[in-house]
Amino acid sequence: MAPLKVGIAGLGTVGAEVVRLIENEGRTLSARCGRGVRVVAVTARSKVKKRSLDLGGVAWAKDPVALASSEDIDCFVELMGGSGEPALSAVETALKAGKSVVTANKALIAKHGIRLAQAAEKHGGALNFEAAVGAAIPVIKTLREGLAATGINRVYGILNGTCNYILTRMEQEGLSFAECLKDAQRLGYAEANPSFDVDGHDTAQKLAILASLAFGTRVAQNAVYVEGISSIAPEDLRAASDLGYRVKLLGVAMKTAKGIEQRVHPTMVPKSSSIAQVMGVTNAVTIDGDGISPITLVGPGAGGAATASAVLADIADVARGVRVNPFGRPVDRLRATAKAPMERHEGGYYIRLMARDLAGTAATIATRLAEQKISIESIVQRHANGADAEKGLPVPVLLITYATSEDAVHRALAAVQKDKVISGRPQVIRIEKN
C-alpha cells in the first residue's frame, strides 16, 4: 500500500518532535499500520528559523491553508495552536477537501469541535485529537472506544501540570502560591503570563472535550464553572493533610439529576485516592463507569515527546483507515448540554474561618450552619500561641461538612459574616470523594 502522505503545520515544541518521531520510528509505524508514513510538506511562521530538523526532500507550503488544500497530502496535521486563524480555516479546508486531520489543539476543539466534526462526517475524513487532552495519556480513545458500551457517571482529573506542580510544592515545602509560581516559571513549567493555567481555563477546555465524549453532549466550554488556585494558602494544604486530604486542581464532569455538572476548582481529595498520589507535573484522569470500578490513567500531560506520541498514534489510525465519529457518535446524536447550576452542587466542604477571640463565637458558627441544615463531620480550632493570643488575634477554625448544597454553605457563611464573629473572607474548598 502507498505510504500515507502527511503535511504538518507548526514545527514548534510538538511539531518538531512529530517530524523526528516519524523519522526515527518509521519502521515500527509501517509494521503496525501495514503502510509507511511520510512527511511530504510542512509550514510554520518562519521559513528561515533554525530548527535542527532534517527537512531535506520535504516541501515548504506558503501557508497553513495552502498546505491543507494541497493535492500532495492525505493527512493534515495541525500543531500551531489557538482557536482562531489560521488553525480554524486550515483544519476546515482540509476536512472539506475530504482529508483526515490530526490536531493537538484543545482550544480549537473546545470552541469549534462540533462544527469541525460535522465537516469530517460530511466529507469522510477523520478528525483525531488525542493529544489535546492529557498529551500522552490515551484518554480520548479510552472514553470514545474502550468504554463505548459503558455508561459514564463521572470523569475527573488533574489536567494541568503547572497547577499540580505548584500545589505539590506548596504542600511538600510549605511555600506560598507566589513563590511556587515563580519557580514554575523559572523551570519552564509556567508561562510568563500564567493566568490561562493557574486560573483554570486550560483545564476547562480539556474538561469540556472529555464531558462531550463521556456524556454524548455537544462540547460547551461556556458550560464549565471555573475557579483557579491562586487563593489557596499553605495553611489550607496543612489543614487538608491533618484532616486526611490533599488539594488538587480538578476538572470534574458528572451526571446529576439537574444536568451535567462541569466544574474546575481546587478540590480536596482523600489522601488514599489514586488521584491524590499524582504529584508534580504529571496528569491523571479517573473515569467512573456503570458496573466497573473506577479507571485511573496517569502520565505525562505535556512536553514535545509526550504530545508527539499521541499525535503519532492518531496518524497511525488514519494510515490504517480507522474512522470513528470524533465525539463517539454522529453529531446529530449529540445532545445539547444542560448546564447544572453550581449553586445546586451537592458535596462535602472544607471551610476555614478566622474566628475572633470572643465568647460564643464557636456557638454562633455552629448555629448558622445548623440553620441551613449543614452537618459537621469534623471541626478543629487552632489556638493562638503566646503573643498572638495576648493580642487577641483571630484563630483559624477548620470545618469539614457532610454533603450539603453550595447555596446552603453560601447562606450560612453570609450569616456568620453578618454576625461579625470572623475576620476576612471564609475559605471554602469543595471535597470530591472517590
Q: Rank residues 80 and 268 by Cβ distance to ligand NAP and give the closer one.
A: 80
Q: Rank residues 70 and 404 by Cβ distance to ligand NAP and give the closer one.
A: 70
Q: Rank residues 49 and 391 by Cβ distance to ligand NAP and give the closer one.
A: 49
- State in angstroms the smallest separation of the CB of 154 from ligand NAP: 24
Task: Write the burial class of residue 375 (CB in 10 Å: 0-12 exposed, 13-18 middle, 19+ buried).
Answer: exposed
Which stretches of the chain bind ligand NAP, using CB under 6 A? 9-15, 43-46, 49, 64, 79-81, 86, 104-106, 131, 135, 302-303, 307
Q: Rank residues 4 and 135 by Cβ distance to ligand NAP and give the closer one.
A: 135
Quickly count: other Cβ atoms within 10 Å of residue 1's Cβ: 10
> 254 CB contacts (<8 Å, ≥6 apart)?
153, 154, 155, 156, 260, 261
- State in angstroms the smallest separation of the CB of 16 from ligand NAP: 7
Q: Rank residues 135 and 166 by Cβ distance to ligand NAP and give the closer one.
A: 135
Q: Which helix (H) or strand (E) holds 347?
A: strand 346-355
Q: In this structure, are residues 103 and 33 in contact, taking their beta carbons and an 8 Å threshold?
A: no
Residue in the shown chain whose Cβ atom is closest to ligand NAP = 12
- State in angstroms the smallest separation of the CB of 223 from ligand NAP: 21
- Choose, from 5, 141, 206, 248, the residue flagged as catalytic: 206
What are φ and ψ of residue 246, in 5° steps?
A: -125, 155
Active-site residue flag, 206: yes
Cell numbers at 134, concatenated? 492529557
Q: In this structure, are residues 256 and 340 in contact, taking their beta carbons and an 8 Å threshold?
A: yes
CA distance 219 to 223: 9
CA distance 168 to 162: 10
- State in angstroms the smallest separation of the CB of 56 from ligand NAP: 18
- State in angstroms the smallest separation of the CB of 207 from ligand NAP: 15
CA distance 91 to 163: 30
Query: Residues with catalytic annotation?
Result: 206
